[in-house]
Amino acid sequence: MSNYHIKHLEEYYQVYRKSVRNPEIFWEEIAEEHFMWRKKWDNVLSWDFTKPEVKWFEGAQLNITENCIDRHLHIRGDKTAIIFEPNNPEEEAQHISYRDLHDKVCRFANVLKEQGIQKGDRVCIYLPMIPELAISVLACARIGAIHSVVFAGFSSSALATRINDATCKMVITSDGSYRGAKTIDLKGIVDEALKECECVETVLVAKRINTDIHMETGRDHWLQPLLDEAYHDCVPEVMDAEDPLFILYTSGSTGKPKGMVHSTAGYMVYSAYTFKNVFQYREQDVYWCTADIGWITGHSYIVYGPLCNGATTVMFEGVPSYPDFGRFWEIVEKHKVNQFYTAPTAIRALAKEGVEHLEKHDLSSLKVLGTVGEPINEEAWHWYDDNVGKRKAPIVDTWWQTETGGIMITPIPYATPTKPTYATLPFIGIQPALMDENGNEIKGNQVDGRLCIKFPWPSMARTIWGNHQRYKDTYFSAYENKYFTGDGALRDEVGYYRITGRVDDVIIVSGHNLGTAPIEDAINEHPAVAESAIVGFPHDIKGNALYGYVTLKETGESRNQNNLRKEINQIITEQIGPIAKLDKIQFTNGLPKTRSGKIMRRILRKIAGKDTSNLGDTSTLLNPEVVQDIMDNAL
Ligand code: WT7
């Protein structure tokens, strides 16, 4: 079991050194000892960041679901793979064993095949957090279809864009979903989206809320009768190491969402290895990540990473506030959760409710607490440490991205001493670099710069679906021979990293990555709007909230401004989803622009954050007079 499970700091440094001195030997050993291969690789790694092209374990053949399910059957067939905790606490939780999971995934895979899905086809999954979501993901992987999970909070038009971009042949959805006290008409959203999607031939519908819905003859099928008829075993498709496993969309700072493409072997090895170490998972543990499988966190650390390690992983359908703010702690107690992984925005929302909810529950099972998605502020970090972990469960502040596929900078619990707000040290095999504005690497400690990665790691995204040039431009063109993350970071006196936030036009709201451009595009569709600009401003719970500056076509627009604000947020909700709604909308007479016509967001960001002491030189602007006007009317 060499190097697979790191248990103290010295061991971390030893293994880290080995992993960067001899990456190929290091990853070959991990891959060889801990995974099931149909055929071993010819070459561990080939890479060229100028193209960019990266290949791990080339020549190898495997199926990731054999690693997630089949190989566990004879040793832990009866062990619970997935605990499903429903939205309604009165509804019984489901325990799905590895043996049951095998049966369910195989049946589902056979249904996909019967419906004409073949290796390489794209399947869009638009489901709430119910077992069918994890099962359909694995069923696609079983037959070599590429899954594209779209978070079921996205609107019909966001869904349509993603379905069309990947030309999905099938959509898997449900009649509806529960979210706290509300129900959502998911199938209605799919029907609306499919008016714009010619590529979709089939829709499979899981029953969840038992409402009467429209079923399009010839296109839509109820899932359950098909599963009941299907054969319970399915021979896994043999995949090449570099075959795409899935596409997952992330917002860009410009234009349409980017379909990040993840490979099979490298993604498997890295998500499994990070899971084991970052959460110090042991055989009897129950692990719970509160993310949705619609995000990368759910792909890597609810489904693939945990299942590859034969873990018990909790899937929670609901929200932290339903029926009250004690729900998370009730679930921790009920299932005796050992590792708990959530987002800073959830921690802040729960902290605001006080500790009385916590005090009602026994949280003594907790051994590791994780956080991900955005920088965690000091107050939230301490609240989590003091009240949830009682200072006994180390916090792993894990920094990574949809693009990186797995955790990149993180403490290893019980090995790395933690430090509030710091993601601390690079994970095994990860070689970060901080860059200055002239493209030079900043060496030494107590420095800050733009965060890049100098060397490939197994789970990095290989391309953007259908647009390799954009992949190159976005990630490999800012700095020569390096992957650029889009984040700023500092390195303290002992070499610990702290992520300071995005340095591009992406804003993280409640842990959701939002590009400014798509929101502005949506606003600009309002007939009264001439132009708009979105910036983030600090918010107690969401981390950042959105502030929109909107210039109307006719100055002195006679309509009620509050009605206009509602209409603008309505368009955003329709085009992107409620997560992108603006907290503040200021109507302006113009937006500050450079002489080349680029909106100066830096100034707008300062005004939104009420930090106007140092706006910098505004005299070079095309229209310096608007700045004072915007300041005078700021919200
Ligand atoms: C961006 C990536 C990775 C899963 C969830 C988000 C920010 C993520 C941290 C952290 C500070 C963080 C970064 C990153 N971020 N984790 N621990 N500390 N910032 O995935 O939607 O692709 O967003 O989230 O800005 O670039 P994503």
The CA dihedral of 335, 339, 344, 345, to the nearest 10 degrees, is: -20
* Ligand 1 center–CA 508 separation, angstroms: 8
Claim to verify: residue 605 and residue 462 sit in the same structural domain: no
CATH number, domain containing residue 602 = 3.30.300.30
* Ligand 1 center–CA 407 separation, angstroms: 10
Residue of the CA atom closest to atom 5 of ligand 1? 373
Would you say the CB of residue 504 lies under 6 angstroms from ligand 1?
Answer: no
Claim to verify: residue 427 and residue 511 sit in the same structural domain: no
* Ligand 1 center–CA 398 separation, angstroms: 8
Q: What is the mean pLDDT of the chain?
A: 95
> What is the model's pLDDT at position 253?
62
* CA 206, chain centre distance (Å): 24
Write out the residue range of the structural domain in which residue 85 sits.
2-475
* pLDDT higher than threshold 70 for residue 556: no
> What is the model's pLDDT at position 254?
65
Q: Is residue 498 part of a domain?
A: no
* pLDDT higher than threshold 90 for residue 530: no
> What is the model's pLDDT at position 531?
87
* Ligand 1 center–CA 186 separation, angstroms: 27
Residue of the CA atom closest to atom 3 of ligand 1? 401
* Ligand 1 center–CA 12 separation, angstroms: 23
Q: What is the ipTM of this complex?
A: 0.99
Q: What angle do CA 17, 20, 22 make, to 5 degrees?
A: 100
* CA 389, chain centre distance (Å): 24
SS3 156: helix
> What is the model's pLDDT at position 557?
56
Q: Is residue 495 part of a domain?
A: no
Would you say the CB of residue 297 lies under 6 angstroms from ligand 1?
Answer: yes
Claim to verify: residue 540 and residue 434 sit in the same structural domain: no
Claim to verify: residue 447 and residue 595 sit in the same structural domain: no
* CA dihedral (561, 562, 565, 570) positive or negative: negative
* pLDDT higher than threshold 90 for residue 283: yes
Claim to verify: residue 386 and residue 281 sit in the same structural domain: yes
* pLDDT higher than threshold 80 for residue 631: yes
> What is the model's pLDDT at position 37?
98
Q: How confident is the model at residue 1 (pLDDT cuts 50, 70, 90)?
A: very low
Query: In this structure, which amino acid lies at residue 243?
Result: D
Claim to verify: residue 530 and residue 400 sit in the same structural domain: no
Q: Of 569, 607, 570, which is closest to residue 588 (Cα–Cα)? A: 607
Name the residue of 374, 403, 425 whose CB sits within 8 Å of the most ligand 1 atoms, as the mutation to test its pocket.
374
Q: Of 157, 87, 127, 85, which is closest to residue 223 (Cα–Cα)? A: 127
CATH number, domain containing residue 62 = 3.40.50.12780
**Total count of domains within the chain:** 2
Please name every residue paired with 34 in a beta bridge, in sequence order, or none if there are none. Answer: none
pLDDT tens string 460-519: 999 999 999 999 999 999 999 999 999 999 999 999 999 988 888 889 999 888 888 889
> What is the model's pLDDT at position 162?
96
Claim to verify: residue 236 and residue 326 sit in the same structural domain: yes
Claim to verify: residue 543 and residue 446 sit in the same structural domain: no
pLDDT tens string 74-112: 999 999 999 999 999 999 999 999 999 999 999 999 999
Would you say the CB of residue 513 lies under 6 angstroms from ligand 1?
Answer: yes
Would you say the CB of residue 498 lies under 6 angstroms from ligand 1?
Answer: no
Would you say the CB of residue 450 lies under 6 angstroms from ligand 1?
Answer: no
Phi, psi of 306 (to 5 degrees): -60, -45
Would you say the CB of residue 250 lies under 6 angstroms from ligand 1?
Answer: yes
Q: Is residue 625 part of a domain?
A: yes
Answer whether 249's CB lies under 8 Å from 258's CB.
yes
Residue 72 token pair: 């566990």
* Ligand 1 center–CA 479 separation, angstroms: 20
Would you say the CB of residue 19 lies under 6 angstroms from ligand 1?
Answer: no
| Higher pLDDT among residues 614 and 592, named by residue | 592
Which atom number of ligand 1 is nearest to the Cα of residue 410? 17
* pLDDT higher than threshold 80 for residue 559: no
Query: In this structure, which amino acid lies at residue 117?
Result: I
| Residue ranges with strand state E in 460-615 | 463-464, 483-491, 497-502, 506-509, 512-515, 529-539, 543-552, 584-588
pLDDT tens string 307-337: 999 999 999 999 999 999 999 999 999 999 9
pLDDT tens string 335-345: 999 999 999 98
SS3 206: strand
> What is the model's pLDDT at position 4?
87
Name the residue of 302, 513, 542, 544 whose CB sits within 8 Å of the most ligand 1 atoms, as the mutation to test its pocket.
513
SS3 235: coil
* pTM, entire model: 0.91
Q: Is residue 544 part of a domain?
A: yes
* Ligand 1 center–CA 485 separation, angstroms: 10
> What is the model's pLDDT at position 504?
83
Name the residue of 260, 384, 508 whose CB sits within 8 Å of the most ligand 1 atoms, as the mutation to test its pocket.
508
* Ligand 1 center–CA 372 separation, angstroms: 6
pLDDT tens string 418-469: 999 999 999 999 999 999 988 999 999 999 999 999 999 999 999 999 999 9
Which residue in this structure is represented by tokens 């869904």?
A: 159
Pairwise CA distance, residues 453 & 430, whole Å:
7
Which atom number of ligand 1 is nearest to the Cα of residue 400? 3
Q: Is residue 468 part of a domain?
A: yes
Residue of the CA atom closest to atom 6 of ligand 1? 373
* pLDDT higher than threshold 70 for residue 262: yes
Q: Is residue 497 part of a domain?
A: no
Q: How confident is the model at residue 72 (pLDDT cuts 50, 70, 90)?
A: very high
Claim to verify: residue 429 and residue 549 sit in the same structural domain: no
Claim to verify: residue 184 and residue 276 sit in the same structural domain: yes
Claim to verify: residue 568 and residue 427 sit in the same structural domain: no
Q: Is residue 485 part of a domain?
A: no
Q: Is residue 496 part of a domain?
A: no
Claim to verify: residue 191 and residue 246 sit in the same structural domain: yes
